[in-house]
Amino acid sequence: MDLNNPDFLQALSAVMLAHPEYFPRPAAPVSFKPSKPEKFDGDPKLVRTHILAMTEYLSLIDPTESFPVTQRVKMAASFLSGKALQWYQWTTVERLQSFPSWNQYTEALLTEFSVLNPVKKARDELAAWKQTGSVSESIQNFRSITVMRHNISSIKNLQKYSLFDFIILFHLFHCFLI
């Protein structure tokens, strides 16, 4: 019996269609389509978020990491806009630089778009900081400023301080960071 015989295949197909209860169709594969990350325009506040979102997105669409690095970087570059896209074009076309690894691409993004001097930025925000709203909101705002730079780690567990301690601590930071 020739399994590739067209007459045999046609007869088999007819039997399968006539008796689907004996020849169940395989279930359709479950497809998962992750949502695409937002485009990154060069905002320093969003550079780390963009890198995390792109890393997660690429790991979902290519879990075995079979894409070559250049393809991964080009795919990530398609999610750049504005200043970030201009930087990428200048880096890759004008300077003829490529990124041999995903880590080098993300480090280059961080170098280009992170806050230049996070300690100075935190100091400037602390100098301009004023209590508005409730004490707990003010403490949250203060925390967000002090943790802006991960190296500013001398303040831990602000919740253990009283309001008086908080004000003294704020003024000490203000005096020493200026």
Longest CA–CA separation in the chain, Å: 93
pLDDT band at 156 (very low <50, low <70, confident <90, very high): very low
Residue 139's nearest CA partner among 120, 115, 167 is 167
Radius of gyration of the chain (CA): 28
Q: How far is CA 94 from CA 42, 72, 80, 98, in A?
A: 19, 20, 17, 11
pLDDT confidence of residue 7: 81
More confident residue, 67 or 83: 83
pTM above 0.85, yes or no: no
How high is the mean pLDDT of the chain? Answer: 76
Highest mean pLDDT out of 78-87, 120-129, 157-166: 78-87
Instruction: Select from 62, 49, 70, 173 the least CA-distant residue to 123.
Output: 173
- Residue 18, pLDDT > 50, answer yes
- pLDDT recorded at residue 136: 77
Please give the residue that has the higher pLDDT: either 56 or 136. 56
Contacting residues for 16 by C-beta, under 8 A, at least 6 apart: 22, 23
